[in-house]
Structures are given as C-alpha cells and as structure tokens.
Structure 1
C-alpha cells in the first residue's frame, strides 16, 4: 500500500519529491529536458531550465501526443493522457534502502517503451517499475521520447532529424548525471526496451555518442529485420506529409509546422499512414529512424560486425507468436493460398527475398496441419522480430562472447483470438503489472503459475542487470547461446503448439 511518507532528492535541475511505496520510492513525471513547444518543437532536446522549490513527482507526466495504438485490440485501450507541454519526462523507482546514507549504489535499468515509433508512454501503469525494482533490488527508469511526426519527421533544414533517438540520448545523459542521487550506480547502466524500444536499445548501444554510457542491453522483440529509413525515402515521405498539411516546402516550413496545433500534425500523420500500401507483415510506420542521422549513424548489422557490442553484455529474446498481434485479425492474410503467402513473403523488404520458398517448405514440414495464413504469420514474425536477435547472438558466440537468448511461450487462457504468445505478451510478466491489463486478450486469466513465471522471468532479467548473467539463487540455469547446430535458447512458458 502507498504510504504517505515522501522522499526528496536533488537533481541538476532542482529537487524532486517522490513517494514511498512499500520497499521502493517512486519518482514520476520528472522532466529531463525542456518542453518541446514553440520554437523547441522539431528541435533537438534542450536541458530543462530548472525550478525553484520542490517538484512533486507523485504522478506520471503527460505522454507525447499520439494516436491510439494499433494494438489496442490485443493489449487493451488507453485513455488520452497526452500533451506536448511537459511530455519529455521520466520515472524512477529505486529501493528505499538505496536512499539511506552510505548505501551501496544499485545497478540501473533504463527501459524504453515500444509502440511502433508512434504510440506509448513510459509513464503508463503497464510499465510501472516498482515491482521489478523491489524484486531485483535495482533502480528502474522509464521515459518518454518524441514519437510520430514530432519525433521522426525528417526535415534537417529546420533541425528535425531523428528527434526521438536524440531524446533517448538525453535520457541516458540525464541518468548518467543524476541517478546517483536516487541510489543508482551510473557505472552500471543497462538499457533495455521492447519492440521499437528494443530497436532503440540496439541503436543506442551501437552509436558511439551513447554507447560509452551503456554496460548491458536487454532487447525484447526488437524488429531488427526492419532497416532504418534511407534519407531519400524519408525526404519523399516528408514532402507528402507537408502536402497533406498544405505547407510549401520552399516557404519556411519550420515556421508553419511550429504554428499548427499538435492535433493537426497528428491528424495528417494518420492520413499519411492510411495512404500507404501496407502489405501484410509490413509493420513499418510512415516515419522512423533515418540512416545516417543523429542516433542512427549506421545499421546495427554493420556496427555489430565491427565489434560495437564486444564490450557490452547482451540479453535478447522474442515471443513465440510475434506477428499474430498484427495478422490474426487481417482477413487478407487469413484467406491466403499457398502461392499468395509465398509471393508476399518474398516481397517483404529486407526480410526473406529469394529464401522464401525454402523457408516456407521447412516450416510446412514442421507444421503439416498449419494453414498458409499461419505459416505466413510465423515466417514473417521470425524474420521481423526473431532472426536479427539470433544473428547478434551467433556473432557473439563465434567470437567467444556470451549472449543470453530467450523465447517467451506462455499463451493466454482462454485464447479466443488465437494469439498464442503474441507481441507484447511478456510485458506484464516483466513488470508484474497484471492488474494494468484488464480484459487484455493477450493476457487472459492469470493464475498462480503465471505469478511464478513472472518471478522467474523478471528475476532472471533483473539478475542480468545486476551481474551480466541471468543466473542466480532460485533461478533456472540459463546457458549462453552457443555456436553450432544446437544453440541454447531459454524458454519461459510451455512448449509452443
């Protein structure tokens, strides 16, 4: 139960007052950068000017303006809590004992939310870090970063370029400079995230501008099969977006963009997305990280091959049915014939190409009763969310470096939507936030076995944050991914059907 006692901590911008919640102290909605409004919209993040007195950090701050998530039917809906003013905020949960004078500094997990670069908030109760901080005796940080057009519009002439990744870099710098005051150890920072947040984790860990602050990474269901946007493609998208807004690119577009209400910017982004020719399995939004821009100087494959992660501890994983969240309700996919599935698999950019027939034949042999729709869903999910992580792990194994790989397989009961262990399914188990997902189809009914699974999954990841290994007292043995034909992958949940 939340106690009325509060704790005050000094940051570089001013003092903040948190709330004691059992064994942890929570500091919510703490600004890490100035509000990106007025002349700061579409500008790189700037330091917060600070405040006098004590900032009340009892409640989460506003989310970044956004549309509703396309995964609401799987995860459950969110009420609009967004506002451009004050949206660059973060949240800290730290063991109360870590704030005592002379206490040993705790390892830190900085975790970034997913949402397809277009939705989400680190302040939502889905990602409440109190239970994870208490379970692992670690300091947990979640944060907002600009998403959608506010975070990924590519218009370098006005300062707009990979602003979301730049915000994430600002979060890391804030943590490095301030987390000691919260009882965290700035020399033991793990960066983690799920989906788009996992993609961001790889970018931060392979970017020389931020990699030096990162000791370890946790990559959950990262869409690593999606390459960064090419600058020319991003420019074409920007031109189409400005056209929807009625803005002439040659007539001071920065002034015009900064004068519009954010609701108009978001509406045009929705129109832009609706106008895209999305093929089933192509989950790319209209705008995301641009190759060569701030925070994304090169593709992760190139960086890993050149040793960018050699001094970083790595834990990486996926769920067993990633793509059902996107495709199980797609009538086009569910009516696929064998030939249609093969044709579209080969057309997915950066995924399968000429390997599609062989991969399909192999999956068909392993699952002889599966429909073309199911086979397509499995293959597309592996190529988007699974294979990139295995490539990282295999590269490290070949170099004699450990990487820990997991597969989360717990399915909801009942599973009326045939989701299996779908994209995002592991999140309630990491944060222990089952109550924050009422009636979510991906979760179903929660029982005692699920609470045990949550303790083992979250406990292993917290142990990794602390030591660089997901092994520890009361945890199952988890071996590093190995070279050769039989590498080790840790399963959390039953064998997938």
Structure 2
C-alpha cells in the first residue's frame, strides 16, 4: 500500500514511487518482465530483475520496437519512442488515497490495438487516469512484443507467440501484485481494442489464464481472424528469413538475435507489403494457432464453454473499415465488378458475392460500389463476429451487453464516418492528445459529453458487470444494442 504521501508501493520485484496527479496516482514504466534483448529476444518473457531502493515510476517505459502504424492517416502520427531494452513494462493508475483505505477495488487490465504490429501502453492516448478516477477502480495498461519480435513463428529457436506470452505475464503480474496497489485480484476485467480485444478474449478462454479473468471488454475485435494457420505462419517466417539473407542458416537464431532491430523491422515492412491483401485487416504475423496462448480458435473456445460465467461487454464502431479503406483512392474509384471481387473473399459459393452486394445496395440507396464494399467488409471483418459472440454468450445464460459507437467527426464530406479506433479518445478522455486526427476532428461540448457517458458505461461494467445505460442483450435483438452518438438535447447516445 502507499506509504504516507510518498505513494510508495512494494511490488514483488521492488518498491516503486508513483506520482500524484489530481484525483489519481500514476505508477508508470513498471517492469513486469526482463528486457527482451540479446539471448532473450524471441524468448518467453523472463522475470524482471529485482531492484534495491525505490524505483521512480513517474515516466512510462519505451514502446516496443515497431514500424509506423498503417492507421497514422486516421489517428494521427506518433513520434517514434521505442527501445527494445526496457520495453516490457506496464502502467497503473489508482484513485488518490483519501481517509480510510477502501475495500479492494476492481481492476481493468487493458491492451492496446495496432494489428499486432504497432502501439504502446505508454502513449498518452491510453492514459488511464480519468477511468480510474471516474469509476473508482484501478487501470493497468501493458506493452507486449509486436511484429516479428512478438509473432515470428520459428519454434525451433524459441520464437512462439512471444507477444501473447508477454500478455500472459502481464496478467500474472496483476494477479501477484495488484493487491499492493489496493486492487482486487479476484475482480479483474481484461479488455482491449482491435488486436487488444482479440487478445483479451484469448486470455479469458485459454485454460492457463481463464481463471484470472472475471469480466471481458471487447472493443472492435477483428473477429474474421482466427489465430494464424501454422503452415501460413511458417511460410511467412521462411520469406522473412530470405529477406534477411538467413534462409540458408541451419540455425538462424543466433543471427536473428544479433541483427540490429532496425533491420528486423525493415524486413518486416517489406514482408507486410508483399503479403498484404487489399480490403483485409490481417497483418503478416499475429498469434499462431497451437502456439503459446492460442490453443484454439475463439469459436472453438466458445463452443467449449470457456467464456461461460464471465460478464461480457462487446461492441464495434459503425464504420470500422473506413479506417483501412476510406482514404484509399482505389476504393473511391471501385467499379461494381471490383467490389464484387472484394466481397468474394469472404462470400464463398456461386452467386454469394452478388447476393451480398445486392443486400447492401438496397440498404444504401445511391451508394457508390466503394461505399457498399466498405459497409459489407465492416460487417464481415468486425460486426458479424461480435454479434455471433454476443448471441452465443447470451444464449448460454451469461450476462452480455452490446454497443455500437456512432460518432462522426464534423464535416459533410468526411469519408471516415464512425471508423475503427474512433471510440478511444472518448473512452480515455484524451481528446487533446489527438491534435491532427481526422477520425476525431475538433470535438464540441456534445462530443465531450458523449465521452463521459461512454466512460461511465465502461467503468460501471468493470465495477459491477452492469454497464450504465446499456441494456442486457438478447440474441438477434437489435433494440438491445446501445448506440453512442452525440445528442443535441438530453443524454448522449440512444
């Protein structure tokens, strides 16, 4: 617990000093695992070294090495702040102590998105202070290895879903240490957005970690993805070694661990461009089926009842795929035939792509083929899977809640609509950290009020399992889906 006014907490590896920030205390940059450098590159996370004295926890650790996000044009650019040394850290926000120590608080462990290729728990986008204060709960955000450092599939050298193993280690850290910060290890919600949502569901259903997760928050998960097929992952690994001139190495491990990380990232960028498919969100490397922390697909896990007994809050943004396609000139000039070819990837069977195209064309009278393709792809990549998960969970008698985020930045010609990642500044209340973000624009008072409403829904879910303003979901009941959008009069959303 905190000592006096110094905000000193004793963790299992040593003491840390946090910084009081208004209604919260922040403990940033706490190592939950050793730096993955040298012989530990690609290896499973190892315990962080112990330290003596009191470690200052005023600053976040560096991001995991990565290339720029493919969504920079949508979210805004980040100044590179990565370093392989010291990157496996997490951040904790607690309400400031006042008077008698309250009962142990519920905990939100939240993982960032970024296609398993970019992002950082330490970025100001994901500052947990407002959520902690608003909900009287504890917020934890954690880094995990990305791209080739996290998901190169070379089991012979020990490269086996290292990023997923990092997430497992972060969850273990919460179990072992959160009580010292006033948190309840028996009331942990694991959540995240996009790749973070994919990861949260895996942690909630994997036998090794399921017992540590009590509620699940899933924002805009790419549910058309299953863990990557091992044969495809091995093919991508071989292509990656060729790009690094290591294809002929009987044991490429030593060379891979000795190469400068910049070369690893550059080769990954080339590989990603080579294997990218227009209109899909799959990265070149992501969790591999059968590897550590990915023993089965999410459908198989749900069928086995692995999520049963856990409260679920799941949702999407209205126009997810505009973040990936809406600013692409190729989409704006798509012909009907081009749109049908895009839909055919996820509409197998003779005439199925045509049927889906006609279905969406009827829903969107006057829409261009590009707009029809984006809407159909949004459902195929994100929304259909979210509703499938919700239907299954609710049918099994579990407490389930579903939302859709509908905020659109001002501007009649805004091609992004309510795009992927659009809810993030509203959830964390970090509007001012998105100064050049087309998805956000310049939010007015109504938009900021919407952020309060959305944050209250999420924090009440973490603390009680009943998100404020979001009704209990029933299968195939669209009226039970809470839509969040600014309102000119009265409460935000509907």
Determine if contact 1:415/1:444 at 8 Å carries over to the other structure: no
> Which runs of 5 or more residues in structure 1 are unaligned?
none
Check if 1:33 corresponds to 2:30: no
Partners of 1:101 and 1:485 in 2: how far apart? Answer: 45
Deviation string for 1:388-436 (max 9, x for gaps)? 1100111123223221000000100136541111110100000000011
1:352 aligned partner: 347
Check if 1:479 corresponds to 2:482: no
Alignment of 1:45-64 (within 5 A): 45-64=45-64
Determine if contact 2:390/2:475 at 8 Å carries over to the other structure: no
Partners of 1:271 and 1:27 in 2: how far apart? Answer: 37
Equivalent of residue 429 in structure 2, options 429, 432, 436: 432
2:287 aligned partner: 289
2:440 aligned partner: 443
Determine if contact 1:315/1:404 at 8 Å carries over to the other structure: yes
Alignment of 1:39-438 (within 5 A): 39-97=39-97, 102-248=101-247, 250-276=249-275, 278-347=276-345, 351-354=346-349, 355-414=352-411, 416-438=413-435
| Superposed structure 1 runs of 4+ greater than 4 Å apart | 484-487
Determine if contact 2:447/2:486 at 8 Å carries over to the other structure: no
Partners of 2:27 and 2:145 in 1: how far apart? Answer: 21
Equivalent of residue 491 in structure 1, options 462, 472, 483: 483
Partners of 2:477 and 2:311 in 1: how far apart? Answer: 23
Partners of 1:448 and 1:381 in 2: how far apart? Answer: 29
Determine if contact 1:328/1:417 at 8 Å carries over to the other structure: no
Partners of 1:283 and 1:415 in 2: how far apart? Answer: 27
Alignment TM-score, normalising by the size of structure 1: 0.94
Partners of 2:248 and 2:298 in 1: how far apart? Answer: 32
Determine if contact 1:91/1:123 at 8 Å carries over to the other structure: yes
Deviation string for 1:4-47 (max 9, x for gaps)? x6411000000001000011100001000000001100100011
Q: Which piece of structure 1 moves more, 106-115 or 392-401?
A: 392-401
Check if 1:20 corresponds to 2:4: no
> Which runs of 5 or more residues in structure 2 are unaligned?
488-492
Partners of 2:341 and 2:298 in 1: how far apart? Answer: 28
Q: Report the RMSD for the aligned CA atoms in angstroms.
A: 1.6
Determine if contact 1:110/1:190 at 8 Å carries over to the other structure: yes
Partners of 1:239 and 1:61 in 2: how far apart? Answer: 32
Deviation string for 1:234-291 (max 9, x for gaps)? 1110001011101135432110000101111001101111222x33211111100100
For 1:16, what is the secondary structure of its paired residue?
strand
For 2:285, what is the secondary structure of its paired residue?
coil
2:490 aligned partner: none
Partners of 1:486 and 1:251 in 2: how far apart? Answer: 56
Determine if contact 1:412/1:441 at 8 Å carries over to the other structure: yes
CA shift at 1:66, angstroms? 0.4
CA shift at 1:343, angstroms? 1.8
Partners of 1:416 and 1:22 in 2: how far apart? Answer: 40
Alignment TM-score, normalising by the size of structure 2: 0.95
Partners of 1:73 and 1:287 in 2: how far apart? Answer: 22
For 1:97, what is the secondary structure of its paired residue?
coil
Deviation string for 1:57-85 (max 9, x for gaps)? 00111000001111111111100100000
For 2:402, what is the secondary structure of its paired residue?
strand
CA shift at 1:344, angstroms? 1.6
CA shift at 1:101, angstroms? 5.9
1:460 aligned partner: 457
Determine if contact 1:111/1:140 at 8 Å carries over to the other structure: yes
Determine if contact 2:401/2:473 at 8 Å carries over to the other structure: yes
